[in-house]
Structures are given as structure tokens and as C-alpha cells.
Amino acid sequence: MEGAAPVHMYCKINIKVTSMAQDRFMALDALALMRHSNASWKLLASDDAAFCCAFFYQEFLAGNVRNLPEARLLMDMRPFLKEKHALAKEPQPEEEALEGEAKQYLRRWSDEEHRWLRRFYRNHMTYYDLTTSGQKAVEWLENLRSRSFIGTESRLHTFFNILHEIEHKANPDKKARLDYLRKQRAEIDEKIRRLREGGEVEVLDEVQIKERFMEAMDIAAGILSDFREVKDKFQGIYNDFRNEVNEWEQGKGALLSQFIADREIIEESEQGKSFSAFFDYLMASSQQEDFDQTMRKILRLKALAGETNRYNPLHVRRAWVDGAEDVQQTIGKLSEQIRWYVNENNLQEKKNIYFQVKEIEKKALAMRGREPKREKEFMWLDEAAPTISLPMERPLRMPPAQMELAQDALTVGEHVGSLEAIFNQVYVDKAVLRAHIEDMLETRQKVTLKEVIVAYPLEKGLFELLAYMEIAKSEACHFTPAKERIFFQGIDGRSRYVTMERIVFEKKEP
């Protein structure tokens, strides 16, 4: 019995330490440190928080835009700077001064101290993208907006549905799975029986529809926010790898092994696997078509007539694809840059530059406290950093070719052939084509272009088919990935066919 007491005491202490470790993130000292080190918190606590967040939201988040060139940001920041000076009751600076001020802001927001923007170079141009820290700060402010409607019932259903899915799909027992599926089939059969016997169809009311739609759009926005965090993780791996290249003393094989191991940590992590599964699911053509059709049907509901959201619901899938492709492109570019870094000549050149910079830093630190006095005029810099000019990086100017005109006198020529082709132009009346489409939609909700052409054959061949496609771009219709072959007779009498994406026209709401 004497030996049991220490064991009991050890267990209690161990549990207490584990609980404290889980709460370390919200501990007072951890939060005090985060207040001065976390980029998102520093943005919200900065004096220019309102100016920064308003600009970031308008440029990047309002339209889900990524990777903007510096020239566009400098131009778009000018009205924000003018409004900022007006609110502070400061005199309005000149246009040239505004551009210089805007450039200073972009440089400051992308430095190591702030890390609200990421600056990079592409095709000899400077680009910026909002970082995860900057996005989190702006979205935190956006969540402070008062909602006109707060629903809880749909989230409760979602909560229980997720729990039931985990309960049944995490159990490998075949008998339990069969019992669950039989129970579901019995419930479905019972619903079918009631409907056949004249029972009423259970439908969602307007409140339930609106609540579930808002929850779906919140999930969609959350997915878009996650893309930047995944991208930043891969970018962080590359930055660490680049620093290791400069200090690496072993062979290139060991260097690549270290990089591959670091990359696999993310790809095999829970977040990496989830992103990979999401990308494969999203890129399936059947899923894209199902999403478009479902979203269009939902948006016709009367309960959602006045709903607005940061993202156009019809463009959510496109925004997902753009965000996922941006992550994939980042991974591909990192691989290209890594191949360049491990090249023998480039590797040695980078090391030489790195060690020269380190040598300068050592000498500068050695001079601390022994700086020359001002009267000796040791050395002065007008700016904090040198201005770099790379004239050889610019393409050489190619003078335009000069046109030489012949001095021969113009004479009257003779025409050979028929002039009928000039006067026999083909005119297609789009109003007639629209009438054909409306006639087909009188008895159905949607109709394909092929069905319209079967009912009203093309009289003017390819010209009429192109006119239908122009109408499709401006009317309530959509293109689907499925291919279909359309046969028609050209104006020359020859039979032809076109293989194209399926175009579906839909009836307009009254």
C-alpha cells in the first residue's frame, strides 16, 4: 500500500500538466508575447488599421482576387490616401507624392516586421498578394458586422449529421453497417408509402431555406480563406529551404532529402490530405455540373430573392477552382526554383553572396559603440536602402520597321471573276432565333441548343449557329462540359457537323 500512493500522486500531476499545456495558447504570458509578434494582431492594433483593412478588403477580398501587380495597387491606393488625408484634416499632397507614399506603404506592409502582404516577382514585374495574417485580421473585422438574421436550427442539424456520419462510417463492422443501411432504407420506404397514399410533401419554410443557405455560403467563404493558409505553408517550406541552401555544407543529395522530407510532412498531414481530396473532388466534371445546376435551382427560390453575399453564389465554384489552382501553381513554381537552387554554379554563387553579406554584418556589429563622429563625415546614405538598377535585364529596343512606298503611278486595273460574293452577304435575325428558343421553353423549364436546332433546322448554316452562341452568352443559359454533335446543312448545300459544349437555355422567371 505504501508504494501505491506515489503512483497515484504522479498520475494527478501528469494530468494537470497536460491540461495546462492545452491552455498555453490563451495563457497571459503567451498572449502578451503574441500581442507584439502576431502579424494579425499587430495589424488590428496599428494606427492605420482602418486604412489598411479597408484597402485590403477592397483589393483582395471583395472580389476574391490574388496576385495583383504593383502598378495596379499604386493606382488604386490613391483615392484611399486622399480620403485618409481628408479625414485627418491634412493638406492633399501632389500626385507624385501620393505615388511615393503608396509605394512606401506597400514596402512596409510586405517587410518582415509586418508580413501583411507578400511581395514577389514574376516576368520582371513586382506582384503582391494578401497573406494569411492580413486576411484573418480583415475577416475578423468583417465578422463584427451585425447580422439581420442569425439561425441556429440548421447548424444543429449539421452538427448531428456530422456526428452520425462519424459514428457509422468510422465503424468497420459490416453487420453494423448493413443494419444502418437497412434502417435508412426502411425510413425511405415509409416516406414513399406516405406520399403514395396522399400524404403531404414536407418542405422547408422561408426561414429554414434562408438559414441553410447562409450557412452554406459561410462554409464556402471559409474554404476560400483556407487556400491562402495552405499556400503560405508551402511558401514557408520554400523559404526555409532557401536559407538551408546558403548554409548547407553537405552534398546536394542530403539537401534534397531534407526538402522532400519537409514537403511530405505537409502533404501527408491532415490538412494536406484534406486539400488533395478537396482538389480531386472539385475538379471532377460531374461535380462541377452538379454544383452549377443545383445552385441555379436554389437561387430561383423566393426566399433567397433578396440575399446578398460577398461572393456571387454562381461564381463560388470558379473562385474555388482559382484558389486551388493558385496553390497548385505555387507548388509547381517552388519545384522549378528548387531545381535552379541546387544547380552547382547557382548554388556556389548563392553561397558566396550569402557569406559576403554575413561578413559585412559581422564587421558592422564589431563597429557598434565605436561609430565615427559626425564631423569626420564617415559615410552617409540618403535612403535606408540602395536603389538597384538592372539595365541588362531590360529587353533591347527594337526600332520599328520603316515602310517603303513604291513611286509607281496608279493605273486602272481590270477585274477578273464574279462580284456576287461581295453583295451576297448573310444576315441572321437574332430576334427570330430568340423566338425559336422561347417557343421551345413554353412547355418545359430548360432546353438544349441541339433540341432547338432539331425543331428549327439551321437555314443559314454556321452563321446561324454562331448567332445562337452569341445569344447564349447574354441569356439565362449555361455551358456544360458534356460534348454533343450538331449536324446542319451549310449555305453551300454541303452537310457538316460541329462538336461543341452542350448549351442549355432556361426559362426566365416571370
pLDDT in tens, 400-417: 777 776 666 777 777 676
The confidence band for 6, taking pLDDT boundaries of 50, 70 and 90, is very low
Q: How far, CA to CA in Å, does 254 sit from each of 242, 338, 351?
A: 14, 14, 17
Asked if 490 and 462 touch (Cβ cutoff 8 Å), the reply is yes
State how far the Cα of 442 lies from the Cα of 445, in Å rounded to an integer: 8
With 80 as the cut, is the pLDDT of residue 59 above it? Answer: yes
- Bridge partners (DSSP) of residue 118 are 129
- The C-alpha cell of 377 is what? 563625415
Q: Are 138 and 109 in contact (CB under 8 A)?
A: no
User: Is 142:57 a contact under the CB 8 Å cutoff?
Assistant: yes
> Would you state the cell numbers that stand for residue 2, as one nine-digit string?
505504501
**181-195, 272-286, 444-458: the lowest-pLDDT one:** 272-286
* Residue among 221, 228, 220, 226 nearest 330 (CA): 228
Does residue 105 register a pLDDT over 90? Answer: yes
What is the CATH topology of the domain spanning 37-142? Arc Repressor Mutant, subunit A (1.10.10)
The Cα–Cα gap between 474 and 505 comes to: 11
DSSP type of residue 374: G
Q: DSSP letters of 196-211?
A: HTTPPPP---HHHHHH
Q: Of 67, 98, 105, 97, which Cα lies nearest the Cα of 81?
A: 98
Q: Which residues contact 149 (CB under 8 A, 6 or more apart)?
A: 210, 211, 214
Would you list the DSSP string of 417-449? S--HHHH------HHHHHHHHHHHTTSSSEEEH
Residues 277, 271: Cα–Cα separation, whole Å: 10
Whole-angstrom distance, CA of residue 330 vs CA of residue 227:
11
Alpha-helical (H) ranges within 143-250 are: 153-169, 174-196, 206-247
Average pLDDT value for residue range 84-97: 87
pLDDT over 70 for what percent of the chain?
Answer: 70
Given this model, what pLDDT does residue 245 score?
65
Instruction: Quickly state the pLDDT bin for 117 (edges 50, 70, 90).
Output: very high
pTM for this prediction: 0.51
As a whole number of Å, the end-to-end CA separation of the chain is: 85
From CA 285, how far away is CA 280, in angstroms rounded? 10
In the block, which residue shows the cell 414513399?
192
Residues 371 and 378: their CA atoms lie apart, in Å, by: 9
Using CA atoms, how far apart are residues 352 and 357, in angstroms rounded to an integer? 9
The amino acid that residue 204 corresponds to is L
How confident is the model over 11-25, as pLDDT tens digits? Answer: 333 434 444 444 677
Residue 63 to residues 55, 91, 110, 164, 318: CA-CA distances in angstroms?
12, 32, 21, 36, 12
Using DSSP, state whether 504 is helix, strand or coil.
strand
- Annotate 153-183 with b (16+ C-beta within 10 A) or e (fewer): ebeeeeeeeeeeeeeeeeeeeeeeeeebeee
Task: Record the cell numbers describing residue 361, joined without a space.
Answer: 554584418
CA max distance for the chain: 125
In percent, the amount of the chain with pLDDT more than 90 equals 7
